[in-house]
Amino acid sequence: MADLLGGRSDANIDFEDLRGILLDLGFEERTKGSHHLFRRSGVEERVNLQRDGRNAKPYQVKQVRAVILKYKLVGNEK
């Protein structure tokens, strides 16, 4: 979580780690092809993740960080 929130290594965030963070924060996952779609009650944005090899795509890592910070989800894990 510290790497994600720090924003210093967006290109090196493991896809499964990022997926696990979202699930731990109470997001529900739906998979459609290569897209992993995440929704959570009280969060307007839908989060879409795709693999970039073993890692998540850097621009999607930034989007996840923005959602976590906007809704103050750190420490509010379900």
pLDDT of 76 > 60? The answer is no
**CATH number listed for the domain at residues 2-70:** 3.30.920.30
Structure tokens at 70: 């906007």
Please give the pLDDT value at position 66. 96
Amino acid of residue 22:
L
Chain segment 2-61, per-residue pLDDT in tens? 888 888 889 999 999 999 999 999 999 999 999 999 999 999 999 999 999 999 999 999
Cβ neighbours of residue 51 under 8 Å, at least 6 residues apart? 15, 34, 57
> What ranges do the domains of the chain cover?
2-70
